[in-house]
Structure 1
Amino acid sequence: MDHLPPHPGADAAESRVAARADAYAAAPLLGCLLREVARPVTDEPGVHLLPGCGKLLRVRGGRRPAAPEVRTAGGWHRLDHAELVKLVAEELRRHTGLSNHELPAEMADSRDTVAALLTARARATAPADPYLRSEQCLLTGHPHHPAPKARGGGPAATWLPYAPEAHARFPLTLLGVREDAVVEEGDCSALDALGAAPPGYRLLPAHPWQLDLAAAGLAGAFADGRLIRLGTTTCDTWPTAAIRTVYAPERDLFLKFSLDVRITNDIRRLWRHDLRKLIRTDTAVRAAFAALDGPAAWLSDRGYRTADFAFEELAVLVRDGLRGHLVPGATPYLAAGLVEGFDGSPLDGPADPAAWWEAYLGRLVPPVLAAFAGHGVVLEAHLQNCLIACDGDGVPVQALFRDAEGVKLPPGTDRAAGWERLVYCLVVNHLMELAEALAERHPGLDPWPAVRRELARHDLPEIPALLTAPTLPAKTNLLLRWTGADGAAAHYRPLPNPLAGA
């Protein structure tokens, strides 16, 4: 067959996608660079010194830096994403004295992922459910990570069918695990309702992408009958913002899987050491929430099931659904989705933005502080682990929290370290981002006095220092990844504290 000539508008469309992908990928990379390394030039707005290489960088935009330029002998030179990656790598080599060949490749992969997602979204239909839209809207993702959308460098065809940002939905693969090889803790009964296993076997759902990634290591188990294929679920699941966690609306059930792909800082496996402490952690958090006043809810990680010959590879974690926890008539939204923006977001049209913000703070902040004050529980209350439910008028009426894996408990976490982690997740990662998004949509609104008032209502010994400290702890994702630190490690650098001047 003869090759057809390209459509006259094809090149222009590809150029538009490329430019948008560059912009989406540059914003979080610049966010890291400006927060962790660069130094502002006080007499030139938007200009920053890169101290390692001595070059000047200029950016535009508001809360998301854009249009990066580097000063050359001939003036300002606009950087595309590939040139920005080279500049960042040069600066980090000089700044740290270390080389890193993996991270620049991840930065490029993240940008190419965005391009593929933009193309796929143009052909996809967003979910009708506003909650699912909020989970699947994150084209930028983590606003202070150098490669938030990297998918392990594999071809787009291997991961696009499972990408929340492409509005994916898919059935899970059903496996049967021979009963003598099953390992489980907690309440996994919801898994047995997903299908039927033959005598001598237990049902184990699997994420199709993870099953492909782990195929070579499972060949022996399929061959000797420890593992059998049982088809797929009759209902679709929707990948959430976490990618490896899916929601089955018909079952009102969340399931979290291993995924042997680096996403942001970590290979996203359900690690054995985390699973072994899951029930203890979840029990402690449920006890903390049982003692709370108000409607805040914890989506319990009830238990996990796996196979002893592929403990981490095939693990699946069972998490509470939404309906048993939601305030009647309320609609939940992912907090990260509110920051990113999506069709139908309650952040777009509150009649009284200041009152909306006070309601938001009044639902989010008290349970986080009470769990810490009364039980030493440090919730990982960042944007991706928090849902905010709103009533029919779009007013926040409830906060829901999730993910026992990120929770810190005593005695393994001392109070000072736990408080630092809480402040980073709640104030820097969550409130700071949402405050900026709200102020951008509603010019003239200063969101920080309300945050200060809400925090000051709580009788914790750490609060006075939080309200007056000149800086807050900001996690250094760029330097963490460049230096090869453990992805679970928390390295912070000081960030100006907006509470001190509120």
Structure 2
Amino acid sequence: MHRPPTVEAEVADELAVVRPDLVSRYTAELPGARAAVLTRLWRALAHEPLPWIAERGPGVLRLSDGRRLHGPVADPYATSAYVTAVRLDGVSYDDPARLMTGLAVPHGAYFASELAHSAASLALSRAGQKGRPKEWPDSDWEWEQRRVVDGHPFHPNCRSRPGFSVEEQLAYGPEHSSHVRLGLIPVGARECLVTGEWPDRMRDGERLLIPVHPWQAEHVLKRPLDLDAVAHPLMSLRTLALPGVGGPHVKTALSTRLTSSVRDISQWSISTSAILSAFAERMAAHTDGLLHTTRTIGAITAHSPDLAAVVRESPQVYGDQERGERVVPVAALATTELPRSPAWLADFARLALTVGLRLLELGVALEAHGQNLLVVLSPTGAPLRLVYRDLADIRVSPARLARHGIPLPELTGRVVTDDETTLRRKLFGSLVAGALAGTAGSGPALRAALETAVRDLPRTPDLVALLEEPLPTKALTLMRLSPGTPGDQWAGLPNPLRWETVS
């Protein structure tokens, strides 16, 4: 019987045409990439509230139809690829896509195709690396291009890029390409909604130049670019740094699904960007200088989520280069030569929790995952301050603000909520289960860092919840298997401070 070619084979065939020199390296990276995606998938199977898993035990899952899955005891905070195979009713699977196909659960076939793309793209990303330079990068875009290759540390779709050909991944992926040609589409000023100050460099007389990702221009807008500029892609792929030291960052619409979300920019985001930027700056002042938020310079939309952009400060401007300070995305910390001793991890956790819990108490829950959160390091690598970027997904509590005499900005929509669970999920799920766990790399390391970090923190109700309740995290696999359910879904991970298995 003829079998259709696998995604891995299709990528190899495309690669043989556009970069034949990478084929052998890509092939060699495939087993490790499958293990990395399978590890993330096994974490989800072991801990997310998937409706077709009836019972969980150490290393054993019983499905609702009676079948059993066997694998290693899952550490939900581990970032190493420690799962090389699992067994479904005695049949061994080392390929996450084939495992999902074998599970035969609702919507599993589509998710299996995403897993296949994730593993193949991850192998491609690893194959394109020339080796990590020993010297520390000087610019922010070099940090994100040279240090972050594997994508999301816990999402099985860590490198899924549907809609991107191999040639396009090599051209636009930050781990492959140091620069791209950022499109500039001229639109009449009267046809646009603009907030903040639109930069002079993006004006052409009476027309405003809207930055457009080249993939978006070709596949969504379907129009040639008469004007363009060189820019450097950052780890989110759709956000790019303009040239120059501390050059601003441009967030573009990218209407394809990367990891979990379609990356367009809503009119609501444009209309509230200046308000959120000013509000965040005022709130950061309550952290005694421990937090900076990148200022939104200007935002624009041609009244379409597919043709919109946001220009904001580079986080780099908040590091004192004369003193030798470095501003590093938290997602890149695990790839540095920092010692990351238990003491260093505890210091970093204390800094992050001090800022996050202080703002939460005042009424702001940051989505402080490793991409949005950056740390300012001293010349010796000590964590000094934090920088936060991309305010679109924070949550703001009117009741908490009022309790502290802070006026509520003119905000409506999803960012405004007084629900305690929503507020804590936003911060704890991104900061603790995300940024801190990804930096620690394992349950035991995370536990040790948190035990030290929380000793001197004010014992607020939020801290008590963090210490005693299951740790919330987005149920990323459940969300991909529930296409009819809008919004975030959540899982409760074993609390690292109370879970004996991790010690």
C-alpha distance in structure 2 between counterparts of 1:206 and 1:99, whole Å: 33
Selected match of 2:189 from 172, 179, 182: 179
Pick closer, same or farther for the CA change 1:399–1:485 going to 2, 3 Å.
farther
C-alpha distance in structure 1 between counterparts of 2:295 and 2:431, whole Å: 20
The corresponding residue for 1:452 is 454
Q: What are the Cα deviations for residues 315-365 of structure 1, in whole angstroms up to 9, with x where unaligned?
A: 1101112343224431011111223x2xxx153x25xx2332233124322
The corresponding residue for 2:164 is 154
The corresponding residue for 1:83 is 98
C-alpha distance in structure 2 between counterparts of 1:106 and 1:370, whole Å: 38
Between 399-408 and 106-115, report the one with greater CA deviation: 106-115
The corresponding residue for 2:411 is none
The corresponding residue for 1:226 is none
User: Partner letter of residue 47 of structure 2?
Assistant: R
C-alpha distance in structure 2 between counterparts of 1:99 and 1:322, whole Å: 40
Selected match of 2:227 from 228, 231, 248: 231
Q: How much does 1:11 deviate?
A: 8.2
CA contact (8 A) 1:452 1:499 kept: no
C-alpha distance in structure 2 between counterparts of 1:124 and 1:212, whole Å: 32
Q: How much does 1:477 deviate?
A: 0.9
C-alpha distance in structure 2 between counterparts of 1:313 and 1:109, whole Å: 24
SS of the equivalent of 2:39 reads helix
Q: How much does 1:210 deviate?
A: 1.4
C-alpha distance in structure 1 between counterparts of 2:359 and 2:113, whole Å: 40
The corresponding residue for 1:409 is 396
The corresponding residue for 2:9 is none
CA contact (8 A) 1:386 1:399 kept: yes
The aligned length equals: 450
- Compute the TM-score of the two structures, normalised by the length of structure 1: 0.80
The corresponding residue for 2:291 is 296
CA contact (8 A) 1:24 1:139 kept: no
The corresponding residue for 1:321 is 314
Pick closer, same or farther for the CA change 1:121–1:14 going to 2, 3 Å.
closer
Pick closer, same or farther for the CA change 1:149–1:284 going to 2, 3 Å.
same
- Say yes or no: does 1:26 pair with 2:21: no
Pick closer, same or farther for the CA change 1:346–1:299 going to 2, 3 Å.
farther
Pick closer, same or farther for the CA change 1:408–1:482 going to 2, 3 Å.
same
Q: How much does 1:391 deviate?
A: 1.0
Selected match of 1:121 from 120, 124, 129: 129
SS of the equivalent of 1:205 reads strand
- Say yes or no: does 1:104 pair with 2:112: yes
Q: How much does 1:151 deviate?
A: 1.1
- Compute the TM-score of the two structures, normalised by the length of structure 2: 0.80
SS of the equivalent of 1:479 reads helix
Q: How much does 1:169 deviate?
A: 1.5
Pick closer, same or farther for the CA change 1:162–1:466 going to 2, 3 Å.
same
Identity fraction in percent: 22
Q: How much does 1:100 deviate?
A: 4.6
Q: What are the Cα deviations for residues 233-282 of structure 1, in whole angstroms up to 9, with x where unaligned?
A: 2xx32211111111224052111011011012211101222322222322
Selected match of 1:424 from 421, 429, 432: 429
C-alpha distance in structure 1 between counterparts of 2:491 and 2:221, whole Å: 41
C-alpha distance in structure 2 between counterparts of 1:316 and 1:20, whole Å: 36
User: Partner letter of residue 394 of structure 1?
Assistant: G
Selected match of 2:29 from 8, 13, 17: 17
Pick closer, same or farther for the CA change 1:119–1:140 going to 2, 3 Å.
closer
C-alpha distance in structure 1 between counterparts of 2:30 and 2:349, whole Å: 38
Pick closer, same or farther for the CA change 1:86–1:59 going to 2, 3 Å.
farther
Q: How much does 1:30 deviate?
A: 2.3
The corresponding residue for 1:70 is 87
Runs of 5+ unmatched residues, structure 1:
223-228
Q: How much does 1:299 deviate?
A: 0.9
CA contact (8 A) 2:249 2:313 kept: yes
- Say yes or no: does 1:265 pair with 2:260: yes
The corresponding residue for 2:210 is 204
SS of the equivalent of 1:474 reads strand
CA contact (8 A) 2:293 2:387 kept: yes
SS of the equivalent of 1:66 reads coil
User: Partner letter of residue 282 of structure 1?
Assistant: S
The corresponding residue for 1:335 is 330
C-alpha distance in structure 2 between counterparts of 1:59 and 1:140, whole Å: 22
CA contact (8 A) 1:284 1:377 kept: no
Pick closer, same or farther for the CA change 1:28–1:244 going to 2, 3 Å.
same
The corresponding residue for 1:372 is 360
Q: What are the Cα deviations for residues 434-474 of structure 1, in whole angstroms up to 9, with x where unaligned?
A: 2335967x9xx932311332xx51252322233233x2222
C-alpha distance in structure 2 between counterparts of 1:457 and 1:357, whole Å: 16
Runs of 5+ unmatched residues, structure 2:
1-15, 399-415
C-alpha distance in structure 2 between counterparts of 1:356 and 1:305, whole Å: 41
Q: What are the Cα deviations for residues 70-101 of structure 1, in whole angstroms up to 9, with x where unaligned?
A: 1555xx635234422323x42xx2xxxx3354
CA RMSD, 1 decimal? 3.2
